[in-house]
Structure 1
């Protein structure tokens, strides 16, 4: 789900937290500068994301935060602060030689791996959080 955070109100923030959960690192703030966020260069994306960041000049980047129920992907190059919320149960991750690809219908992002250690740490956190969520849901 794509959220416009130019005027966040309590119901919007509650809806967003309902999709991706709370932050892994306190305090639980919704900010592209929150602790634990990693920056990636966007190589390719689906048409909706391309239209969203179309006016940006230079290298297109996004900040990704691993949260308890999903990923928050911040796009800084937009007019209004936009965030894409992808829940783990709808997320597929593919790793190529120098890129990561995230899919969650209808969204697709292909991200450049500039630092292999950063990429490994991001994947480790993502898979660990997904496993914790899967384990909790298995015993409900």
Structure 2
């Protein structure tokens, strides 16, 4: 789900929380050594996201936030902030070339540079969390 999150809309926040869960508490964030990525440089995107990013001339960057049931990828275009909401059951994460990761949800995708060790470690953290917490509890419900 690709949404504009520039404005404080309670119904949109509830929809996002239903999709990927509420944000981790401060104690959980400390135990996990953080739940957000550093600035990631976008190399390629699906057409819907590309059409938003070409509206300005800035360098295209994004951030990833982990949630209990998925991730949120946020990026800016002009003066608006957009989020790609990806629950773990729809998340497909691939390591392409040595310097790039591809993140997919249905027909949306974002490819980001991975030129720092911190990026590799964060992507591994996402995959480890998905494997350990999400997949085992999803079959019990």
Q: Same fold (TM over 0.5)?
A: yes
**Aligned Cα RMSD in Å?**
1.9
Offset, 1:27: 8.4
Query: Could you tell me which residue of structure 2 aligns to residue 47 of structure 1?
Result: 47
Structure 2: runs of 5+ lacking an equivalent: 29-33
The correspondence of residues 125-136 of structure 1 with structure 2, limited to 5 A, is: 125-131=125-131, 132-136=133-137
Q: How many residues align?
A: 133
The correspondence of residues 3-18 of structure 1 with structure 2, limited to 5 A, is: 3-18=3-18
Query: Could you tell me which residue of structure 1 aligns to residue 108 of structure 2?
Result: 107
State the alpha-carbon separation in 2 of the partners of residues 43 and 25 from structure 1.
32
User: Secondary structure, in 3 states, of the residue corresponding to 1:121?
Assistant: helix
> Which stretches of structure 1, 4 residues or longer, exceed 3 Å deviation after superposition?
none
The TM-score, its normalising length taken from structure 2, stands at 0.84
Contact 2:21 2:69 in 1 (8 A): yes
Structure 1: runs of 5+ lacking an equivalent: 29-34
The TM-score, its normalising length taken from structure 1, stands at 0.85
Offset, 1:10: 1.6
